[in-house]
């Protein structure tokens, strides 16, 4: 097969494949679950930082931009939100949540928020000072309003 024929097949095949993957239903159910018990933040600043950097994946108040309706982006975003809510959920504070030290490590290391989120959401790119502010606010929040399943003192 010559390269022109191969290019022609690709020019037809890629758009057809793109249309076909839109039929896969995963990643399009954007109904946010109900908030069972919202976290009580220590301050509006902590809430602002957590919401802009973490809220879409770690709460039931996810904002679903237009691209979350287009596969394969919809699949990736849905996976990230499902995983995020499963690990930490500010909207289900009546359920077990991770120890504060786990959150501190992930924020300090830059692991959270993940790169793919920071690329699209500029507000999630926290400076070192903002990371320190968020961590300090989370520590105070955990102390004043511990989630279910977490004992004070990290136990």
pLDDT value at residue 28:
74
pLDDT value at residue 153:
42
> pTM of this prediction?
0.83
Answer whether residue 7 is part of any domain. yes
Answer whether residue 110 is part of any domain. yes
pLDDT value at residue 139:
97
Answer whether residue 154 is part of any domain. no
Answer whether residue 150 is part of any domain. no
Answer whether residue 31 is part of any domain. yes
pLDDT value at residue 152:
44
pLDDT value at residue 66:
92
Contact (CB, 8 A) for 14 and 6: no
CA dihedral for 86, 88, 92, 97, sign (positive or negative): positive
139: Cα within 13 Å, side-chain hemisphere: 11
pLDDT value at residue 150:
64
Answer whether residue 152 is part of any domain. no
Answer whether residue 43 is part of any domain. yes
Range of the domain at 69: 3-144
pLDDT value at residue 137:
98
List the chain residues with pLDDT less than 50: 151-155
Answer whether residue 151 is part of any domain. no
- Number of structural domains the chain divides into: 1
pLDDT value at residue 142:
95
């Amino acid at each position: 097969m010559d390269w022109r024929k191969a290019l022609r097949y690709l020019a037809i095949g890629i758009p057809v494949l793109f249309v076909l993957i839109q039929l896969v239903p995963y990643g399009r159910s954007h109904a946010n679950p109900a908030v069972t018990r919202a976290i009580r933040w220590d301050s509006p600043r902590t809430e602002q930082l957590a919401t802009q950097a973490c809220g879409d994946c770690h709460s039931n108040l996810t904002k679903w931009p237009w691209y979350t309706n287009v596969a394969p982006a919809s699949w990736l975003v849905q996976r990230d939100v499902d995983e995020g809510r499963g690990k930490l959920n500010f909207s289900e504070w009546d359920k077990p949540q991770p120890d504060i030290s786990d959150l501190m490590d992930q924020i300090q290391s830059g692991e959270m928020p993940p790169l793919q989120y920071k690329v699209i959401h500029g507000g999630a790119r926290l400076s070192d000072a903002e990371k320190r502010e968020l961590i300090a606010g989370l520590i105070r929040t955990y102390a004043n309003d511990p989630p279910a399943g977490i004992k004070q003192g990290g136990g």
